[in-house]
Structure 1
Amino acid sequence: MPSVPLHPPNKSSTVLDTTNDNNPLPPLLRTPSGLAILELQGTINFPTTTPNDDVDMDTQTEEENTKTKIIETELGKIMFPDYSDLDPESTKWMKRVYLYAGRYQRMTGEVKKLAKPLAVIQRRPITKMQDENGTGGGNGGQDELEIVDVIKYKIIFASRPEPVGLETIAERS
Structure 2
Amino acid sequence: MPTVPLHLAPKAPIVPPSNPLPQLLETPTGLAILEIQGTINLPSPDLSTHTTPIGRLVFPDYSENSSSNGTAWMKRVHLYVGQHQRLTGEVKKLPNPVAVIRKRENYQTDGEELEIMEIVYWKVVFSSRPEPVGT
For normalisation by structure 2, the TM-score amounts to 0.75
Shift of residue 108, structure 1, vs aligned partner: 0.9
Read off the aligned partner of 2:81 and give its amino acid letter.
A
**Map of 1:12-51 to 2, 5 A cutoff?**
12=12, 14=14, 32=23, 33-34=25-26, 35-46=31-42
Structure 1: 5+ residue runs without aligned partners?
Answer: 18-29, 48-54, 62-70, 167-173
What is the match of residue 46 of structure 2? 58
Q: TM-score, normalised by structure 1?
A: 0.61
Q: Assess if the C-alpha contact under 8 Å between 1:15 and 1:149 holds in 2.
A: no
Q: Kindly indicate whether residue 114 of structure 2 is the aligned counterpart of residue 145 of structure 1.
A: yes
Q: Which residue of 2 aligns with 1:110?
A: 90
Q: Which residue number in structure 1 is paired with residue 56 of structure 2?
A: 77
Which blocks of at least 5 consecutive residues in structure 2 are unaligned? none
Partner-residue secondary structure (3-state), 2:74: helix
Give the aligned partner of residue 122 of structure 1.
102
SS of structure 2 residue aligned to 1:114: strand
Computing the radius of gyration from Cα coordinates, the structure with the larger value is: 1
Deviation at 1:91, TM superposition (A): 2.5
8 Å Cα contact 2:55-2:80 kept in structure 1: yes
Kindly state the Cα deviation for residue 94 of structure 1 after the two structures are TM-superposed: 1.2
Which residue identity lines up with residue 105 of structure 1 in the other structure?
A: Q
Separation (CA, whole Å) in 2 of partners of 1:44 and 1:5: 38
Amino acid at match of 2:112: D
Corresponding position: 1:161 with 2:130: yes
